Structure 1
């Protein structure tokens, strides 16, 4: 028997972290509506969205590729979400709603999904959208390397049933499948364009979305223009026809001061990644609003490399865990604009274990005791030694200083020096080489995904960086592998939560990771920019945006 699904729903464990936009500057919560409200006496007038204009949006970094199937960069997602639609849309409450698919069924064994598709939809190059096009996309994702492949999980094949019906077969149940399909990394490309451009499709994207690709000047700007035929927007949108904007231009502006200054001067209409010190200052600017959207996935955490001595010993890792004062780091660097993390999960992710909050507190005396027990004795310079070797921790981080992560490294270096650990910082643009050869002891990162299966690629033993995964800790525990697989396949909500709770507890108890902060996606824009919304991942949605004169 098959179940017809129009909105498979699960409720988030923490309502605070649904991807609603909170306005930190301006006056009140930004509801992202497309109509401006003006108060006149006792009456409230509602004005319609203004048609036309160009929104210039400053990105902090440059996309790698604009082929959703081949990219793995979050910044790329922010661009090609406007070019590509997905089969389904995931709402802020976690429910799944139809988009390019009108409905879908799931077999009782969880291994087969059958999608009914919209008719009368065309790609921006005139190619009809149909089941053959969707199959071509599944085949394309299997042939390239990008995040999309991991989102498909155990998909083994796809079959065209008729022009507007496609069946997708999985080798095993995969509860994160629908969440993956809603991602722009699985946005649907024109099969004609994929074939026409070949390897260069990464620079010539064609989808069914509200904006058409015009040009990409690398490390400078990406220009999109309105798709005049668009009338199949996602269920979360207020707009029902073509974009209100004529053009959408992404400028690549790595310098923080330049990004924010350009918005304040009117040279740009919006900019991402607002530094914490600017958030505080912009609160006093009545012409500017700062949106803060919660991201879902893994918190930014420091991962120990479990292959390297002495960090393969839990006591050594726990000593660092007790010596690092995360509260001080977060308060000092982010001035109350970032939340402190307690788990590998962000609080809005299904299965987040709130019992971990306030579990670990700094205890320098206990940290020193643990290192003493391991035989590491302090020398005359205050650095511990054992068998003629200094106790050294190699801390790897990327350049430039994204989200003040280099500053985190510097503070950690000072905090653990007090227990006799010498920290060698490796701040480099080339993080791939040390991640591949293992010449690091501590490395920080986070990942964005709206399903707890995000951690399978991070902690499963066969997902090491050298094998295309992100198992930075090089964790190899058969019990964790088993739990990760069970979590991916379990359809019972409560059982699934319990599985991921066990994993979160293990990671903290064994000090595999040190959670630091939960990243809020921030955007500064003048109050004349209306209708800017954010999806469940915290990424901006421009379909409803209009610019008031």
Structure 2
């Protein structure tokens, strides 16, 4: 993660949500330039009290815990209303949280979780073994009769969980599941009250009914507008690794929906807000020079790139996929769209993922090689520079991913690069809801699905790359590529990290050489512009800002 901060800036005290009504005026205020003054914090020790306003570009479309946009916008709120069984940092290191310890059997098919005692949900009911069992079941299976989905990437090998006693749960899997413990720190693995789990979906969609055990509780919310959280006075079970116990320092956090990036950033510059989510990467240096804090944490997961649908011609031809792979200049993407804070992709996984290995050579930019591959595949350039075969143009539509603020700019640059090779590329962009309805993995109209996907443990790949065990089948291969099935299944079924490592390395190289996945850059999906008066912010392995330890100077 990269974080930068300069001189401290004093902002006017006494802000409240009503101040955000005038956010549009913040653009004009910021144009005058912010003043930079001494820090009121003085000693640098955490201070109690204060209210933080976080401006965000979406609040998702449902608050049903299992169905919500938890891997993107709503995860900010869930991360403060709820706890998880384990904490995972930006390097993938797993630490105790609600599960204070655990054991597994030699082949990773049985796990025993030992829970902290005295933990309660916000209605004071216990977060005990029975509650954990209910959460594990709903994460794994969902409830189709109520329209509740299983959570993404929860191990499909889950069999059942048993309550041993109030503080002990035993969990059973149908096959080795080495990634179970790390996955307990994933987006969707949020612990909610059994009372919430039992509710109909329509009632779960009311955020006030979603009871968690986190350091903040819901104060108020307004659909499509804002969520206000206040600290929970009796909270006392944070992960020890955070270095703080007891209630949060801040009194409240207000998440306010502001669609325009310039209005979000201008509000922070003018002192009307504390955090602006997803500012332009190209503006970060300017903000830091003005005395503001910027953060670009990387999450654990896949790099930003395209999952190629091999069912869609001409991408059923490995030569065309390889031409796509070698026809993209990733260095130009970083230098044009991003800043030096962004890192080039080395594989299909982020380099901070345990087990990720460097396969840069398998997708190095080589326009001559890409052109030769297209020639060999029978795609000839016409007078207009577009390649064609049997009267059909070499066409590709890219759909900008709305969960990544820079996606459209990247896709437009990729379009230019591929255009020089003879591709006819169209770029389309939709809002979050429309994108979810129209752009789907394996759709016959989507040849290249742009991935922004986090995960905690690489063992989940078997549930994504093929359709084995009801996997997501990213590349439209089903189980036709037996080598891919063997590698993915071997990774998922390994009983130890040591046994998994060579299989995981081989899998990465094979996927890239086949052109199934086309990396772009290592991903920074969550970008933060923050007031320099805001201290103590921590970013977890999913790149979410945690304000439990934060305080205002």
User: What TM-score bracket applies, with the shorter chain setting the length?
Assistant: 0.7 to 0.9
Corresponding position of 1:282: 287
Give the alignment's TM-score, normalised by structure 2: 0.86
How far 1:434 moved relative to its partner?
Answer: 4.6
The answer to whether the Cα contact below 8 Å between 1:25 and 1:285 also exists between their aligned partners in 2 is: no
Residues 196, 67 of structure 1: CA spacing in aligned structure 2 closer, same or farther, 3 A cutoff? closer
Q: Which runs of 5+ in 1 are unaligned?
A: 1-20, 29-37
Corresponding position of 2:27: none
Corresponding position of 2:247: 242
How far 1:219 moved relative to its partner?
Answer: 2.0
Residues 410, 97 of structure 1: CA spacing in aligned structure 2 closer, same or farther, 3 A cutoff? closer
Moved more, 226-235 or 357-366: 357-366
How far 1:311 moved relative to its partner?
Answer: 1.2
Secondary structure of the 2:122 match is coil
Corresponding position of 1:13: none
- Mapped to 2, the partners of 1:416 and 1:96 lie a distance apart of 41
Moved more, 373-382 or 63-72: 63-72
Secondary structure of the 2:505 match is helix
Deviations 1:144-185 (A, max 9, x none): 455635324311111111222221111111011011112352
Matched, 1:363 2:366: yes
Corresponding position of 1:131: 129
How far 1:498 moved relative to its partner?
Answer: 1.3
Matching residue within 167, 170, 176 for 1:167:
170
- Mapped to 1, the partners of 2:274 and 2:42 lie a distance apart of 25
- Mapped to 1, the partners of 2:488 and 2:61 lie a distance apart of 30
Corresponding position of 1:352: 356
Moved more, 500-509 or 183-192: 183-192
Moved more, 193-202 or 340-349: 193-202
- Mapped to 2, the partners of 1:183 and 1:445 lie a distance apart of 17
Corresponding position of 2:458: 452
How far 1:124 moved relative to its partner?
Answer: 0.3
How far 1:241 moved relative to its partner?
Answer: 0.7
Residues 433, 526 of structure 1: CA spacing in aligned structure 2 closer, same or farther, 3 A cutoff? closer
Secondary structure of the 2:499 match is helix
Corresponding position of 1:25: 5
Matching residue within 434, 443, 462 for 1:437:
443
The answer to whether the Cα contact below 8 Å between 1:127 and 1:192 also exists between their aligned partners in 2 is: no
How far 1:474 moved relative to its partner?
Answer: 4.6
The answer to whether the Cα contact below 8 Å between 1:64 and 1:73 also exists between their aligned partners in 2 is: no
Q: RMSD between aligned alpha carbons? A: 2.5
Corresponding position of 1:120: 118
Residues 89, 524 of structure 1: CA spacing in aligned structure 2 closer, same or farther, 3 A cutoff? same
Matched, 1:82 2:80: yes
Deviations 1:390-410 (A, max 9, x none): 22223233458x332112222
Q: How does 1:146-225 map to 2 (within 5 A)?
A: 146=149, 148=151, 150-196=153-199, 198-202=201-205, 203=207, 204-225=209-230
Corresponding position of 2:67: 70
The answer to whether the Cα contact below 8 Å between 1:71 and 1:146 also exists between their aligned partners in 2 is: no
Matched, 1:298 2:305: no
How far 1:131 moved relative to its partner?
Answer: 1.2
Secondary structure of the 1:168 match is strand
- Mapped to 1, the partners of 2:532 and 2:227 lie a distance apart of 24
- Mapped to 1, the partners of 2:451 and 2:521 lie a distance apart of 10
- Mapped to 2, the partners of 1:282 and 1:491 lie a distance apart of 47
Corresponding position of 1:409: 411
Residues 319, 546 of structure 1: CA spacing in aligned structure 2 closer, same or farther, 3 A cutoff? same
Q: Which runs of 5+ in 2 are unaligned?
A: 9-37
Count how many residue pairs are aligned between Structure 1 and Structure 2: 509
The answer to whether the Cα contact below 8 Å between 1:303 and 1:444 also exists between their aligned partners in 2 is: yes
- Mapped to 2, the partners of 1:397 and 1:321 lie a distance apart of 18
- Mapped to 2, the partners of 1:135 and 1:111 lie a distance apart of 17
- Mapped to 1, the partners of 2:165 and 2:474 lie a distance apart of 41
Matching residue within 524, 545, 548 for 1:540:
545
How far 1:143 moved relative to its partner?
Answer: 2.5
Residues 434, 96 of structure 1: CA spacing in aligned structure 2 closer, same or farther, 3 A cutoff? closer
Q: How does 1:8-23 map to 2 (within 5 A)?
A: 21-23=1-3
- Mapped to 2, the partners of 1:108 and 1:414 lie a distance apart of 52
Matched, 1:376 2:376: no
Secondary structure of the 2:240 match is coil
Corresponding position of 2:34: none
Corresponding position of 2:267: 262
How far 1:494 moved relative to its partner?
Answer: 2.9
Corresponding position of 2:51: 54
How far 1:92 moved relative to its partner?
Answer: 4.7
- Mapped to 1, the partners of 2:289 and 2:94 lie a distance apart of 39
Matched, 1:335 2:334: no
